[in-house]
Structure 1
Amino acid sequence: MNNSPTNISEIKEQSIKELLKQYVRYWYLFLFGILIALTGAYIYLRYATKTYATSSTIIIKDEKKGGGAAELAAFSDLSLFSNAFSDNIANELVILRSKSLIGKTVESLNLNVQYFYEGSIKTSELYVYKPFKVNYLSVSDKTQLTIPQLVIIMHSDAEFTIEDINKTFSKKYSFGDKIDLPFGDLVVVPNTENIDKFNNYLEKPIHVVYHSVENVAAHFQGLLNLVHDGKNGEVVSLKLTSSLPVKAEDFLNELVYQYNQDAINDRSQIAQKTSNFIDSRLEIITRELDSVENNKERFKSTNRLTDIEAEANLILENASDYNKRQVDTSTQLELIDSMISYMDSTSSIDLLPSNIGIDNGEIQSSVGTYNQLVLEKNRLLKNSTSKNPVIINLDSQIEQLKSSISGSLKNQQRFYQVAIKDLNNQENIFNAKLSQVPEKEKLFRGIVRQQNIKEQLYLFLLQQREETSISLAVTSSKAKVVDAAYSGKGQESPKPSLIYLLSFILGLLVPFLLIYIYYLFNTKVSNRSDVERVHRTTPLIGEIPKLSRGEEELIKHNDRSILAESFRILRTNLQYLLAGKTTVDGGLPKKIFVTSTIKGEGKTFVAFNLALSLAQTGKKVVLVGADIRNPQLHRYLPGQQKDKKGLTEYIIDHTIAAADLASQSEYNENLSIIMSGVIPPNPAELLMQPRTNIFFEEIKDLYDFIIVDTAPSMLVTDTILINKIADVTLYVIRANFTDKKLMEFPKDAIEEGRLANIALVLNSVTMSNFGYGNKYGYTYSEEKKTFFQRLFNR
């Protein structure tokens, strides 16, 4: 019990070694696979299209937080720049990836027209330098999807030939000519700034491909990646992967520029709308102020008043606070009335004036949000219809927000109306106390109060108009560029190190899988390990190498081949196996039977060569053909008479002596051969006759060794019947021929006692599986081997 873990560990270690051994045996396949894979990887990397990562970093300014540009620092105290927008970084990312903005970028850079140069192996796109430019003057909307690919061949800096890819038309033109084609008109303009580069493309076909702006915009929209980790405030990274780094850099830079232009246009619309509103109000206030001043002048002239203000200030010194509050409240009420009147006359696509002085932060914030929604709706209407669900949703939000703003204004209006009423009541009380003030002075005070209200409102509107004019004159970009678009030095894909690594793994994996599949479907015995795995207790005393085509099958005198040496080893192991054993009658063991499971495993070959090997030691050996159903000894006896009497005649005819059957072999003087005789109709019953035992008793004293070639054990019962006569039975298994399942038959026969004194011999073993001789670099032959035989140890 204590030794079990050790034995299990040894068995596992041995199994692992055997598993590794069966793969290491084919090391040349792994080497070949790696070389092929790495060569393929090199060719792929040589001609594969390389892509590079291009990135740019910007800061999207949050103007609500006072994030204006440095050039507007002088105006940072103006409320227009601090409350114009309520930015949301997520919304800005959507705008940056919008198809409309990317479409403007594509149109600006003319990216929907591509130029390709047809090389000897692959076609490359021309971008940095193009020998000419194709201007598509007009393209029919109905044919945008079917515009053919054009092929232009330049003959000189003046002439070129244009044709379509299918060569349905071909004609020579001069540069600058207007070319009328079925899908539209175009003009080809040469680029001769670098005449050397221009000449390199002469007489070489250049392909021109036209795409619709929408398709190209959708393509870039899918490639563009915007990264905002939420930790760096308004910092956004724009990333793009392309095979043309310069093209990707131009696209990202232009995209940021178009984004800034779009934001500037939006702010200009709001500022312009506010300016128009202020101008209209100033016109009304100016007329009202002129009317009040004229009334004041007529009143003073009619009543001959000179310093009524000084007298009123002296009398109404204590009433100044009420007057100031009345003026402020009336101003706010006037602004609210104007705003309500303006809202009632606008539609859902009109912007509202922002920051006109209404003293209510909630209303100002709502107006800013309302304008942002209107701008978003107007932007979407450029590429969509009013039935779009997104626009319908925006309309609903705009109407709700407009209703909310209107309600807030009306609430504020009622509040100021109540406040003015209260102030008027307080004024009446105060006026009662001033009953001694002349009626004319009170009338004059009312005129002055109206004048002050109109003047304050007039000055306020002038200030707002100035701020709006500044915002129109000074426009700042929405996105500040931190890092302009740049491309990394290393390629993004394919990665050479990764490709070579994967190729190396693939070069190992494919041979491994081939070998694995080979062993998985290979049901034949291959080597010594396959035999010993089934027959753990039965000794394997010999391995016979596989013979090449045309190689001699029988060993000769003083033979130094690996075949002869393998039989010498078999002979030696057999002698050690027989050493110390005695037969039933007390004699030395000498009867050696040779059998196999099925036909074709080489038992006759082994029996004949073993007999020759024993005879070469000077021993007297007789080879008996006991396979009376299918005798094969005659294959190795071309000079012998095949019809000579043999074992079957001896058993049938009691007058025949065993010694008379033997004939000397021409291969060795110490070897005699007894043929099997004629094929009987009842071989099994014949071998069961007592004459069979008498035969072996007669010849055992005549020879030192008796080698018996018997029938296959599984196919017929002959060998099982006479096996008890043998001192030892050599059971032949043929490599790459005997099925592994067939090895269960001798195992069961041994365990059940049907076969006794068994020793195994593995025949036809390949050199890669052979356990002796050349495998360990020690050869007994002088034969010359080819380079590949020496390389693969064949």
Structure 2
Amino acid sequence: MVNHTNTQNLIEEEEKSINVLDLTKYLFLHWKWFLLSVLFFGGLYYYQYSKTPFVYSKSAVLMIKTPQNSNATARFTRSSMANTVSVATEILQLRSKELMRQSIDAIQADVSYYKTVGLRNVELYNDAPIKVLFSNINPESSRSFTIIPKDASSVELHTLDEGHEQKKSIIPLNKLVKTTIGEVTILPTNNYRKNEIGQEIHVSKIPRESMVSYFLSNIKISQIEEDASLLRFTLEDYSPKRATDLITTLVDLYNLQTIDEKNRIAVSTENFIRERLSLIEGDLGAVEKDLERMKVANQGMDVNQATGMYISESRQYLSAGRDLETQLGLAEMMRDYIQNAEGLIPTNMGLVDLNIDQYVNDYNSALLRKNRLLEGNNENNPIVREIDQYLALNKSNIERAVNNAISGLKVRIQNSQKDMNTALKGATSMPAKQRQVLGVERNQRVKEELYILFLNKREENALNQALADDNLRVVDPASGSDAPIAPNKIRKLAIGVGIGLAIPTAVLLLILFLNTSVRDRKDIEKALSAPFLGEIPYSKRNKKDVHVVVREQATDPVTETFRILRTNIDFMSTGRSKQVITLTSLSEGVGKTFCAINLAASLSFLKKRVILLDLDLRKGTLSEKINATKPKGISHYLSDSSVSIEDIIYENEISGSVDVIPIGVIAPNPVELLLSERLETLIQQLKNTYDYIVIDNVPIGVVADASIINRISELTIFVVRAGKMDRRQLPEIENIYKQKQLNNMAVVLNGIRKGSAGYGYGYGYGYGYGYGYGKKK
């Protein structure tokens, strides 16, 4: 069981590998389509590559200055508004549209100069031999024209008028000239040389906002390290020099704006501090005069010190009175508890009188002793009664001691209250003077602190203004390879070739998978259990010999396949007579007659006597193909008993050795004729004379003739046409085989086209070459 499972798995794996290999072969057979597709798309993408302008990349490394990494800012603290540096904020500011507008205006990046080299436009930028200055032009306007240097002092200007007609004019250099595109001045540059004479320079004034969007879309700013204040600034452009200049200009303008902003803040801060200092100086002088006047009026006495002394004493008396009140409360609580308590009395309650604690301890000890005695005796025990007397006496002593303590505490509280009132009277004797002094001194301290604060801020602001620094420092200036980063020739061609290979592959596979027709032997063997005799490739017949394509000494694929077919027929004939071979099909047009003719010819090459019989009484396709327009045929024989066999047999009609019985004329009643007993008589006589009788039958799926003829058939070859029959019809053929509607049915696959099917087992005739028989080509 295990070996069978392993064998089955190996077979499935082999089938999978065969499927992949067959798919590859199927695609390879259509190599012409792949070649055409690759040439088309490869050429298309090469054309796009040749036409696309080169793109260059330049990068710079910038450091964001902070108090930690800047020498100037490390020594002094910035103002609160500029002290915090955010990397995200710096990146957003560098990508601002206004900053980009100023940078574009500074280097005139909205004016493009380019030449056409081959199919590609090459951006010149500062390498252009001329420079165009527009006068009073809207930054959002658009212009496009061509300049051709004529000589050292003039150029030729080509423009389009309102009617889109080209207009030429000669423009002198270094002069403001009014043209159809506005007032312009054309200046020669250092690149204005003799070799530029006659060369077309295309100039485009692009709307500034379009250039802003273009450059911002090509800018990449990223933080190099997560915890580092370093930025990588990358710009892609058609001109490497313009990219470098734009990066440098943008960073310089950003730093200038930063310094201007800091200076404006510093000037505003200085003016504010100066105004506040002037006001505070006046207020501080008035407060000091008031304090001086009060000290003179009080004869130099320190009112604050005297008041503080009285207040300190009153606070001490107040604290002592609170402690006494606490003791009084505890004593009263002790008294109430003792009056109602029958058990143990709590000790260490914090009372000042130590005698109370002694009485309580004695009381508790006696009560515990009494409780122990009661466990083994009754209350009438003399010792228990003695202890009860002692407890009553001791409890009375405790109550008296507690009452005495309460009385003493109340007296002490009264005395403490009197002392506190005396101290408060001394403290309140000068309340008005004290309030005045405290108010003046408080006002003086506030003014002094504000004055000192603003003096410090003034100096700090002056230092920050003197040391105003930009926010960015260029660590690595804009640089990069002068080789373009795009378009990439290899990548473009690879994409073109890839698409050229992918599209035919997708189309061919789609055609293959959507094709429901029978394609090869594998489709037959999967759906049918009938014996498979062979597969016949598609054959292109010539005009001289339209019906026979096999040759006795040939080794071509068609001849080889019919040799295989006749060999397989011999295998099926082992032990049983298979002289009468009938060819039928499910529908017409599958090559049934072609197979019958060539099978008969191939059998005759074995020196066998073979006769072809056309029993398609409705159409006579076999008779028509071999051009057997004879006066008498099978229809005459079946309908007229006076017609003999010799009258309808025509010898050596095919390949010089195959006899033929044509239909004669198309019969109006083919079913009645085929049911005639003369048909069996005819076949029996032919079997005595011929080795093989090949009958071209009608399709079984069209009329009932095939079922009638089946009674004389010894071997039925069911012809299936590749590419014509739908695979969904194969179950119908399987039912015909299982129900034994046809005698000894076997299947032949006809019309295998090389390069159209090619999926599955292949044609199966290639191994016939070189076996030794026949001539070698």
Q: What TM-score, normalized to structure 2?
A: 0.70
- How far apart are the structure 2 equivalents of 1:735 and 1:289? 115
* Letter in structure 1 aligned against 2:25: V
Instruction: Tell me how far 1:273 sits from its aligned partner.
Output: 2.5
2:235 maps to which residue? 240
Matched, 1:651 2:644: no
SS in structure 2 of the partner of residue 722 of structure 1: helix
**Contact 1:542 / 1:569 at 8 angstroms: preserved in 2?**
no
**Contact 1:149 / 1:164 at 8 angstroms: preserved in 2?**
yes
1:560 maps to which residue? 554
SS in structure 2 of the partner of residue 700 of structure 1: helix
* Letter in structure 1 aligned against 2:700: S
1:590 maps to which residue? 579
2:703 maps to which residue? 716
**Contact 1:659 / 1:699 at 8 angstroms: preserved in 2?**
no
* Letter in structure 1 aligned against 2:583: V
**Contact 1:555 / 1:612 at 8 angstroms: preserved in 2?**
no
**Contact 1:132 / 1:188 at 8 angstroms: preserved in 2?**
yes
Q: Which of residues 136, 159, 162 is equivalent to 2:154?
A: 159
2:590 maps to which residue? 601
Instruction: Tell me how far 1:287 sits from its aligned partner.
Output: 10
- How far apart are the structure 2 equivalents of 1:273 and 1:287? 22
Q: Which of residues 173, 177, 181 is equivalent to 2:175?
A: 177
* Letter in structure 1 aligned against 2:186: V
SS in structure 1 of the partner of residue 58 of structure 2: strand
Instruction: Tell me how far 1:168 sits from its aligned partner.
Output: 5.7
1:94 maps to which residue? 92
1:424 maps to which residue? 437
SS in structure 1 of the partner of residue 689 of structure 2: coil
**Contact 1:545 / 1:566 at 8 angstroms: preserved in 2?**
no
SS in structure 1 of the partner of residue 737 of structure 2: helix
Change (3 A) 1:218 1:131: same
Instruction: Tell me how far 1:421 sits from its aligned partner.
Output: 8.8
Change (3 A) 1:775 1:614: closer
Change (3 A) 1:557 1:231: closer
1:434 maps to which residue? none
Matched, 1:632 2:621: yes
SS in structure 2 of the partner of residue 179 of structure 1: strand
Q: Which of residues 689, 692, 705 is equivalent to 2:679?
A: 692
1:530 maps to which residue? 523
**Contact 2:581 / 2:692 at 8 angstroms: preserved in 1?**
yes
* Letter in structure 2 aligned against 1:424: V
2:314 maps to which residue? none
**Contact 1:23 / 1:512 at 8 angstroms: preserved in 2?**
no
SS in structure 1 of the partner of residue 685 of structure 2: helix
Q: How does 1:665-704 map to 2 (within 5 A)?
A: 665-667=652-654, 670-704=657-691
- How far apart are the structure 1 equivalents of 2:142 and 2:55? 28
- How far apart are the structure 2 equivalents of 1:291 and 1:698? 155
Change (3 A) 1:515 1:464: closer
Instruction: Tell me how far 1:219 sits from its aligned partner.
Output: 3.1
* Letter in structure 2 aligned against 1:606: C
- How far apart are the structure 1 equivalents of 2:752 and 2:68? 86
1:478 maps to which residue? 471
Query: For 1:615-644, what per-residue CA distance to the aligned partner results, in whole angstroms no more than 9, with x for missing partners?
Result: 232222222221111113333544x5x243
2:741 maps to which residue? 754
Instruction: Tell me how far 1:111 sits from its aligned partner.
Output: 1.1
**Contact 1:541 / 1:574 at 8 angstroms: preserved in 2?**
no
- 538-547 vs 33-42, which deviates more? 33-42
- How far apart are the structure 2 equivalents of 1:577 and 1:422? 137
Query: For 1:642-692, what per-residue CA distance to the aligned partner results, in whole angstroms no more than 9, with x for missing partners?
Result: 243222222222333334432312446653322223322221122122222
**Contact 1:177 / 1:187 at 8 angstroms: preserved in 2?**
yes
Q: Which of residues 43, 48, 52 is equivalent to 1:48?
A: 52
**Contact 1:542 / 1:573 at 8 angstroms: preserved in 2?**
no
Change (3 A) 1:496 1:121: closer
* Letter in structure 1 aligned against 2:620: P
- How far apart are the structure 2 equivalents of 1:206 and 1:526? 63
Q: What TM-score, normalized to structure 1?
A: 0.69
2:712 maps to which residue? 725
- How far apart are the structure 1 equivalents of 2:246 and 2:462? 34
2:649 maps to which residue? 662
Change (3 A) 1:215 1:781: farther
- How far apart are the structure 1 equivalents of 2:585 and 2:457? 115
* Letter in structure 2 aligned against 1:25: Y
Query: For 1:585-636, what per-residue CA distance to the aligned partner results, in whole angstroms no more than 9, with x for missing partners?
Result: xxx3311112222222222222222222222322222222211111133335
- How far apart are the structure 2 equivalents of 1:204 and 1:44? 24
2:25 maps to which residue? 24
**Contact 2:717 / 2:748 at 8 angstroms: preserved in 1?**
yes
1:200 maps to which residue? 195
SS in structure 1 of the partner of residue 624 of structure 2: helix
Change (3 A) 1:264 1:763: same
Instruction: Tell me how far 1:291 sits from its aligned partner.
Output: 13
Change (3 A) 1:704 1:421: farther
**Contact 2:614 / 2:623 at 8 angstroms: preserved in 1?**
no
Change (3 A) 1:174 1:782: farther
- How far apart are the structure 2 equivalents of 1:637 and 1:221? 81
Change (3 A) 1:717 1:38: same
Instruction: Tell me how far 1:574 sits from its aligned partner.
Output: 1.2
**Contact 2:123 / 2:238 at 8 angstroms: preserved in 1?**
no
Matched, 1:58 2:62: yes
- 629-638 vs 689-698, which deviates more? 629-638
Instruction: Tell me how far 1:742 sits from its aligned partner.
Output: 4.2
Matched, 1:130 2:119: no
**Contact 1:138 / 1:186 at 8 angstroms: preserved in 2?**
no
Change (3 A) 1:264 1:631: same
- How far apart are the structure 2 equivalents of 1:287 and 1:516? 97
Change (3 A) 1:643 1:263: same
Instruction: Tell me how far 1:471 sits from its aligned partner.
Output: 4.2
**Contact 2:54 / 2:486 at 8 angstroms: preserved in 1?**
yes
Q: How does 1:216-295 map to 2 (within 5 A)?
A: 216-228=211-223, 231-277=226-272
Query: For 1:703-760, what per-residue CA distance to the aligned partner results, in whole angstroms no more than 9, with x for missing partners?
Result: 2222212112211111111213211012222333444444444322112221121122
**Contact 2:110 / 2:206 at 8 angstroms: preserved in 1?**
yes
SS in structure 2 of the partner of residue 689 of structure 1: coil
Query: For 1:445-474, what per-residue CA distance to the aligned partner results, in whole angstroms no more than 9, with x for missing partners?
Result: xxxx99xx99x9999988866665554444
Mark the runs of 5 or more structure 2 residues left unpaired by the alignment: 290-295, 306-432
SS in structure 2 of the partner of residue 117 of structure 1: strand
- How far apart are the structure 2 equivalents of 1:629 and 1:482? 97
- How far apart are the structure 1 equivalents of 2:676 and 2:94? 105
* Letter in structure 1 aligned against 2:471: K
Change (3 A) 1:566 1:122: same
Change (3 A) 1:185 1:574: same
Mark the runs of 5 or more structure 1 residues left unpaired by the alignment: 296-311, 322-419, 429-448, 582-587, 785-794
Matched, 1:507 2:495: no
Q: Which has the larger radius of gyration?
A: 2
Change (3 A) 1:644 1:5: farther
Change (3 A) 1:461 1:737: closer
2:356 maps to which residue? none
SS in structure 1 of the partner of residue 588 of structure 2: coil
* Letter in structure 2 aligned against 1:706: I
**Contact 1:625 / 1:674 at 8 angstroms: preserved in 2?**
yes
RMSD across aligned positions (CA): 4.2
1:371 maps to which residue? none
What is the number of residues matched between the two proteins?
626
SS in structure 2 of the partner of residue 204 of structure 1: coil
